[in-house]
Structure 1
Amino acid sequence: MLGLVVPGGVVFCSVWLHDWLLPDYARPILVDGGGSGAPAFGEIGVFLIDQIFRGALADVPEVFRLGLTPISNNPENAVISWMIVIYRIAAGAVTAAAGYMIYRVWRGMPNIDRWIRFYEDRLQRAEAGEFTGEQS
C-alpha cells in the first residue's frame, strides 16, 4: 500500500493543487481527449487509477491503447509528466515485488507441513524429557 497509495497521493495532490504548487505555470497539467474541459476531482481519481494499471501491467494498456479515461498527461508539462513516469515505475516495482512474494509463499507451502511435524515431534520429545537441547 505504501508503494502505491503514498506516491499516488503525491501525484493526485500535485495534479489537483497544481495552481498552488506550480503558480504561473502556463502549461496545462492534464489533457482531456474527450474535449469536456478541465478534469474534475473524480476524473483525476480515475486518471490516477489508470496510471496504476498502466504501470503495474508494464505498459500493456499503453501499447494496445486501452484505458479507463480519455484524460492523459500533457507531455509539455515536464514536472507532472516526470512524476507520472516515476509513479508508473513505482507501480511496476510494487507489482513485481507482490508477485515475487506470492511466488515465494506458493513455493514454501509444501514445506510448511513438514516443518510443523518436525517441531511438534521435537516438542513432544522435549516434554517427555528425551530432548536435552544438544541433539541436532
Structure 2
Amino acid sequence: VPEVGKPGFVLAEDEIEYGIGIHGEPGYRKESMQPSRQLAEELTGKLLEAFEAKSGERYALLINGMGATPLMEQYVFANDVASILGDAGLDVVYRKLGNYMTSIDMAGLSLTLMKIEDEAWLEALESPVKTIAW
C-alpha cells in the first residue's frame, strides 16, 4: 500500500506463494518458482477436488493476470489448465484471460472455474455487454 511506505509482503526473486490474497494476504504455501504446468496442476487439482468434478462436465475458465503478469504467460498457463481439464474429460466451453482484478505491482495469476450446470449461464457469459471494464 503506497501510504504505508513498505511492501505488504516480500518474496525472493525465485519464490512463489500459492493462495495469496489480492491485497497481499498470506497464502497457504511458499516455494521455489515452478514451471507453468506444475502451477496449473496444483491450482486446477484443488479446484477439481472441491467441485468433485466428473468426466463430461462443462466448465467456464477465467484466468486473471493480477496486473503485472504478461498476457503471453497467462496464455501459457491457460493452455496448461485446458490440457489438464481435457485430460480429466472435462469440456472448457468458455474462456476469458486478462487483467480483471489487479493490485499494485502484483505479478501472479488467479484461476477461477465455474461449472456450467445450466445453458443459460453460458449464454449470460457470452452475452455482449457495455461496461467500463471486463
Q: So what's the TM-score if we normalise by structure 2?
A: 0.25
Q: Which has the larger radius of gyration?
A: 1
Which structure dedicates a bigger proportion of its chain to helix?
Answer: 1
Which structure dedicates a bigger proportion of its chain to strand?
Answer: 2
Q: So what's the TM-score if we normalise by structure 1?
A: 0.25
